[in-house]
Structure 1
């Protein structure tokens, strides 16, 4: 709540911000996919470096006071929060107004069974995969990047951008979501201790095909 811009810039760095700027120069909005891994919250500091409007997609907290506190904390780094129920409407409004944006989706959580449209193997189990980020990117012709956040030492983190696609129309449906979940897997295998294991990622499962 009290950390300064100078201090957080020292503690959360970007290894290849120039790649992100290359994607900005393509003049299409960007979907940024990442996971509940390491200090993912600090990724909102990207707002200090982007010329695009920055937005973080989040699930609204029922308690209005805690919700306001979370919004205030996260928005101090230059990004605006959009709750999940307002996301599609807001993104389309921005597109219609010609507002180029980068939209952060933490997409490794579990959708409900009713909303599960795509299932894939993740860490040895077949589970439902969130496809909201891909669906928006496909409908509105947006580019997609993966952001890999890693801990470098106590209290210090770095993020690396990994291209997913700058031509989503050329990819099969669900391919972006598949590529995303493969990147998350690789990151977990490298250092499993920094993954947010308590968020019930494997609440729903299917048997693997033999």
Structure 2
């Protein structure tokens, strides 16, 4: 069944990826009508999240943020499909970097990097930054249920010297890379919700206490890696600018979870600046009523 689903869907995805950008975004507009106006995909979750973290905003403001968010979500969907066939030159034109020299300077200093981001703006085309550096890139991800689509996603990322590895694979892979003297840059999207019972740390995120992922900080300390945050700003439709910001080059100098808390504050700043570009479909605050007593 997995192979049959792949065989049936892949040609459709490939055809979409071959569309010129004007037609691609016309397709995105049609997708918006389907998932927002007709099916209302997770609309209830989106509005619950927005009302929870922005109690001061009016109904009209929440509705406008919701609508703009869904337009952006549809654009990200078609842009991820476009990654199948987009040229390197085209991606470089559409995903630019305001200070790539920050990463290049860490490379000169022989420092491996933990690269942290939130589910904000666009993270689909960030992998093109590998064309400006010599680091071996790793993206920490959750394996797809369909092994054929999982291989497809890995193949797309491999175009830019990036390998996708699961959280379980991350520790042994990066330890071995350090032993081999290989400089690595490893991407973590660490703002989503872990299982409450497995969380080592709870923190305030958008004013609400929630469990948070701490794996990026743990790895940085274990392997003495610099920690860098990247933010993505939408310049116009289909065009983004990424900015890097060093959190620390000496993670062991920080108390446990301080780096994670600093990362969350940076994500919050992005959300407050333009909330419509955050991934509101995720149930990020679902564990807010389950805070263990020791974290209250």
**TM bin (shorter chain):** over 0.9
Query: Of residues 62, 85, 93 in structure 2, which corresponds to 1:10?
Result: 93
- State the Cα deviation string for residues 6-59 of structure 1 (Å, max 9, x = none): 000000011001111122222121000001112112111121111111111111
Query: Of residues 90, 97, 100 in structure 1, which corresponds to 2:173?
Result: 90
- More strand by proportion, 1 or 2? 1
Structure 1 counterpart of 2:34: none
Q: Give the CA deviation at 1:199.
A: 1.7
SS, match of residue 38 in structure 1: coil
Matching of residue 65 in structure 1 with residue 171 in structure 2? no
Higher Cα Rg, which structure: 2
- State the Cα deviation string for residues 113-139 of structure 1 (Å, max 9, x = none): 122001100012100111000000001
Q: Distance in 1 between matches of 2:170 and 2:286?
A: 25
SS, match of residue 280 in structure 2: coil
The answer to whether the 8 A contact 1:45-1:78 is kept is: no
Structure 1 counterpart of 2:126: 43
Summarize the alignment of residues 147-162 of structure 1 with structure 2, pairs less than 5 Å apart. Answer: 147-162=230-245
Say what the alpha-carbon RMSD is for the aligned residues: 1.6
Query: Of residues 278, 283, 287 in structure 2, which corresponds to 1:200?
Result: 283
TM-score (norm 2): 0.68
Report the count of equivalent residues: 210
The answer to whether the 8 A contact 1:44-1:56 is kept is: no
Which structure 1 residue ranges, 5 or more long, are not aligned? Answer: none
Q: Distance in 2 between matches of 1:37 and 1:6?
A: 24
- More helix by proportion, 1 or 2? 2
Q: Distance in 1 between matches of 2:209 and 2:184?
A: 33
Q: Distance in 2 between matches of 1:46 and 1:109?
A: 23
Matching of residue 26 in structure 1 with residue 112 in structure 2? no
Q: Distance in 2 between matches of 1:75 and 1:188?
A: 30
SS, match of residue 198 in structure 2: coil
Matching of residue 76 in structure 1 with residue 159 in structure 2? yes
Runs of 4+ in 1 over 3 A off after TM superposition: none
Q: Distance in 1 between matches of 2:85 and 2:215?
A: 33
Decide which moves more: 44-53 or 129-138.
44-53
The structure showing larger relative contact order (alpha-carbon pairs under 8 Å, at least 6 residues apart) is: 1
Q: Give the CA deviation at 1:66.
A: 1.2
The answer to whether the 8 A contact 1:33-1:147 is kept is: yes
Structure 1 counterpart of 2:259: 176
Q: Distance in 2 between matches of 1:35 and 1:137?
A: 17
